[in-house]
Structure 1
Amino acid sequence: MAKLEKGYVQIYTGNGKGKTTAALGLAFRAVGDGMKVVMVQFLKSNKTGELNSAQFHSPNFQIHRFEKRRGFVWTLNETEKLELKGEIQEAFSFAKAVVRERKCDILILDEIMAAMYNNFLEISEVLELINNKPEDMEIILTGRNAPKELIERADLVTEMKDIKHYYEKGVVAREGIEY
């Protein structure tokens, strides 16, 4: 059973496909080595394959969502945005409790960059969470538009760069591949 001596901060960002997929790959590897992984997903409420896959690894791999199903941020009215902000704050409070109570070896904050980019979370809040993590806990943050303050704080930053994508030919998101 693997145990981290030192946990680092990783970021998967950029406009290319694969940020969540990379974090999930790391999660499945870690669970296979006996580690406990908690993933908190922000701005995701639709059905995805990872929710089903995580059940096979429970309780060592848990995915948590706090948002009710609704449209994309840019389609929401002000009341819906306020409601969403409350749900995101609840998810972030849960993530802080996971860190404070050391409930896992690896914490993945999926699409947290989008939560900050859309002003549902402050960069300073996320930096505080990172700075309060136990020495032996890994934290992974995903999403486009990683703020420079987080990039500077992280130990590893990978940028997914979109060079060519079949969306350009009208291919829509496919079950089991994109979600």
Structure 2
Amino acid sequence: MDEEKGLTQIYCGPGKGKTSVAIGQAIRAVGYGKRAIVIQFLKGRATSRLDYLNAMEPEVRLFRFEKKDKFYEDLTDEEKKEENLNIRNGLNFARKVLLTEECDMLILDEILGALEFGIVSEEEIESLIQAKDYETELIMTGNVVTEALKNAADRVVSLEVIK
């Protein structure tokens, strides 16, 4: 596991499976005695399939800051404004987690989607990468990754459906 120490990884691409790969990394880390925090963005409260992670607490903790029960793109403009504040709270929590070294692995599921929707900026995500210490592994997921974030990450994996 030491070769994985402190990496910043991005799982991106149009296909399914990015979250599953990231969660697999968290489960693997738990096998090495590590602790992981997963912060989910843009998926709404009731739409996630990750509730099974509750059985892995306290080694893996799942956080969602959004209050609505539906996907972000299905919200009204007024609901989006409200959720944007909640998503920003999630981003601030991620920064706090990194600065206090609260876990060994931090997964920001769909943070790149929040960037795509213009809720968070590329600079804010870059500053998260810079805020993490040498030991903490940071994993981010989303469909689209910018060139700057590709350059800031240690590893970028694109998942695509072949057939």
Secondary structure of the structure 1 residue equivalent to 2:56: coil
Deviation of 1:74 after TM superposition, in Å, equals 3.4
Change in CA separation of 1:60 and 1:72 when aligned onto 2, cut-off 3 Å: closer
C-alpha distance in structure 1 between counterparts of 2:88 and 2:19, whole Å: 21
CA distance in 2, matches of 1:142, 1:109: 7
Q: What is the deviation of 1:26?
A: 0.6
Paired residue secondary structure (1:56): helix
Output the CA distance in 2 between the equivalents of 1:27 and 1:48.
Answer: 17
Query: Which residue pairs with 1:153 in the alignment?
Result: 152
**RMSD over aligned Cα atoms:** 1.7
1:36-115 maps to which residues of 2 (within 5 A)? 36-45=35-44, 46-52=46-52, 54-115=53-114
1:108 touches 1:139 (CA, 8 Å); kept in 2?
yes
Q: Deviations over 1:126-151 (max 9, x none)?
A: 10011010111100000101111111
Segments of 4+ moved more than 3 angstroms: 2-6, 70-75
CA positional deviation for 1:57:
1.6
SS at match of 1:35: coil
Once residues 74 and 60 of structure 1 are traced to their aligned partners in structure 2, the CA distance between those partners, rounded to angstroms, is 31
- Aligned-pair identity in percent equals 38
Paired residue type of 2:108: L
Task: Tell me, in whole angstroms, the C-alpha distance in 1 between the residues paired with 2:156 and 2:130.
Answer: 17
CA deviation profile, 1:17-39 (whole Å, cap 9, x unmatched): 11000001111010111100001
Match of 2:142 in 1: 143
Instruction: Give the Cα–Cα distance (whole angstroms) in 1 for the partners of residues 69 and 56 of structure 2.
Output: 28
Q: Using the alignment, how far apart are the partners of 1:43 and 1:49 within structure 2? A: 13
Letter in 2 for 1:68: K
**Conserved? CA contact 1:5–1:136, under 8 Å:** no
After superposing the two structures, state which structure 1 stretch, 39-48 or 111-120, moved more: 39-48
How many residues in Structure 1 have an aligned counterpart in Structure 2?
162
Q: TM-score, normalised by structure 2?
A: 0.92
**Gap runs ≥5 in structure 1:** 165-179
Larger-Rg structure: 1
CA distance in structure 2 between the aligned counterparts of 1:38 and 1:78, rounded to whole angstroms: 30
The alpha-carbon deviation at position 73 of structure 1 amounts to 3.2
Structure 2 portions without partners, runs of 5+: none
TM-score w.r.t. length of structure 1: 0.84
